[in-house]
Amino acid sequence: MKDTGEDERPPGRTGLMEYEPRRGSIKRHLLPAWFDDAKLGIMVTWGPYSVPAFAPTGRGNIVDIIRREGIPALYANQPYAEWYLNSLRIEGSPVYRHHISRYGADYSYDGFAGKFNTALDLWDPADWAGLFRESGAGYVVLIAKHCDGFLLWPSALRHPHKSDWTANRDVVGELTSAVREYGMRMGLYYSSALDWSFTEQPMRDAADLVASGPADRRYADYVDFHWRELIDRYEPSVLWGDVGYPPGTNLFSLFAYYYNRIPDGVVNDRWSQVPVFARRVIRSPLGRFITERAARRMFLKGMAAPGAPHCDYTTPEYVALPGPAVRKWECVRGIGRSFSYNAEETETDYASVAELIHLLVDVVSKNGNLLLGVGPTAEGRIPVPQRERLLGLGEWLSVYGEALFKTKPWSRAETETRDGIGVRFTRRSASLYAIALGQPADAELAIRSVRPPDGAHVRLLGVEGDLTWRQEGEDLVVTLPENQGETPALALRITPPPEN
């Protein structure tokens, strides 16, 4: 991306060398306010895998499969369409059978890159950025390189084995410019530990996930060059690593390099490094057994990437935490059950607008952000069901966003109404927000265990004037206005806030 002036750069850039490449120095980095305040981000997963756009459906999301059948069953029936290449390498898998039937046994995954590049002529980054802004998102994270190794920017360091394994447009640069034009932050995802273009064996279980990526020095240098190039050229506000990092390197050097250039940038938690000797142990029969059980238990608890040497926030995947977390976190999931576009998915595979609103409210009440995955078609069109969900989120946030943006968790995250509707809490210094995840059957909303101070003002966001309320024991009973309209969730502002 061409540097056209200081005004296009992310705020907070100082040029001061404040961080050194060691743990103690890096740990001084504080979570910037912009990330805590944003609450909603969009992750875009787009690449050669968007051409076949296939993954099996009918088993639920990855958490459902892991819980019922285990991690080996997940890889054999992977619902993520962006994992097409790995699934194709598992003989007899649904993707393998689909590929043979549709394209033939001799058709290489590499052929999808040419089709993807041809379709790139149709892509309009401004359309994406405008839609993401309408959704209410504060930041966007683009998959610059997924596990298939295909690059979405013109790197000065090309693939050592595949000279054309790169997009023929600067997707990273063009989308970065468009996103910033709409006032949002831009982040970049890069698959560091896994790159299937350097390996041939498929991943079949948890041991393969953590111990099968390239481990030689040449690959580590390749990854380090790319990360620093992305930082220098595009100045991302988020470094979103995934599935670990090559062993034998000093990650604090990369983090110091990043923070010194982008002091208000953030780093996620998926940077664990597994030494070469530990990989051999993990991939032994006993190691596979232990790793499978530990990974399953951790993943279902929301620990997607244990053991990172440093992070600003954590990233549970398709899992929401049960209560307010001390550390900032980010719930990561697709609108459907795949992050990239899966042509097999139907309306039943996509979360509804109401479900996404409820999820966003729940996550924010517990000190989290929601990073919602969008999967465009190979031609760069965002499918209508995904577009409808994003616009639905934005419409709700245009009325009730005050109850989420720039808020903090309260002393407790939730309660319910007397008729069983879930309620979530957020706060600002002068007000408490009580967000009901549904509408009551009558004109009164009775919220359990909330006691405002005498004389408090209670308002329904989107409606002028105070509401009538009374205290019945420990419960707050609010009379709602007539003809307020249907909404998946409504938010009350209580000023001053209760003390409990």
Model pLDDT for residues 257-276, shown as the tens digit of each residue: 999 999 999 999 999 998 88
pLDDT at 279: 86
Domains and CATH numbers, the chain: 6-403 (3.20.20.80), 414-495 (2.60.40.1180)
Q: How far apart are CA 360 and CA 345, in angstroms?
A: 22
- 10 Å Cβ neighbour count for 134? 17
When the pLDDT of each residue in the chain is averaged and rounded to a whole number, the result is 92
Q: How far apart are CA 391 and CA 399, in angstroms?
A: 13
Residue type, 53: A
Residue type, 50: S
Crossing angle of helices 285-300 and 62-69, rounded to 10°: 130
Concatenated DSSP letters of 323-378: S--SS-EEEEEESSS-SS--TT--GGGSPPHHHHHHHHHHHHHTTEEEEEEE---T
The H-or-E segment that residue 422 falls in is strand 422-427
pLDDT reading at 281 higher than 70 = yes
Determine which of 274-283, 359-368, 409-418 has the lowest per-residue pLDDT on average. Answer: 274-283
What is the gyration radius of the CA atoms in the chain, in angstroms? 23
Q: How far apart are CA 333 and CA 321, in angstroms?
A: 13
| CA quadruple 476, 479, 485, 486: dihedral, nearest 10 | 40
Q: How far apart are CA 19 and CA 265, in angstroms?
A: 13
8 Å CB contact between 467 and 393: no
Residues in the chain: 500
The residues with which 458 forms a beta bridge, in sequence order, are 494
pLDDT reading at 4 higher than 60 = no
Write the burial class of residue 232 (CB in 10 Å: 0-12 exposed, 13-18 middle, 19+ buried). exposed
Going from the C-alpha of 34 to that of each of 15, 40, 214, 284, 406, the distances in angstroms are 19, 11, 35, 45, 8
- 40-91: per-residue pLDDT in tens? 999 999 999 999 999 999 999 999 999 999 999 999 999 999 999 999 999 9
Residue 60 zone, left/alpha/beta (φ > 0; ψ -120 to 50; rest):
left
pLDDT at 300: 77
DSSP symbol at 173: H
- 228-264: per-residue pLDDT in tens? 999 999 999 999 999 999 998 999 999 999 999 999 9
pLDDT at 305: 64
Take residue 267 and report the two structure tokens written for it.
């780093």
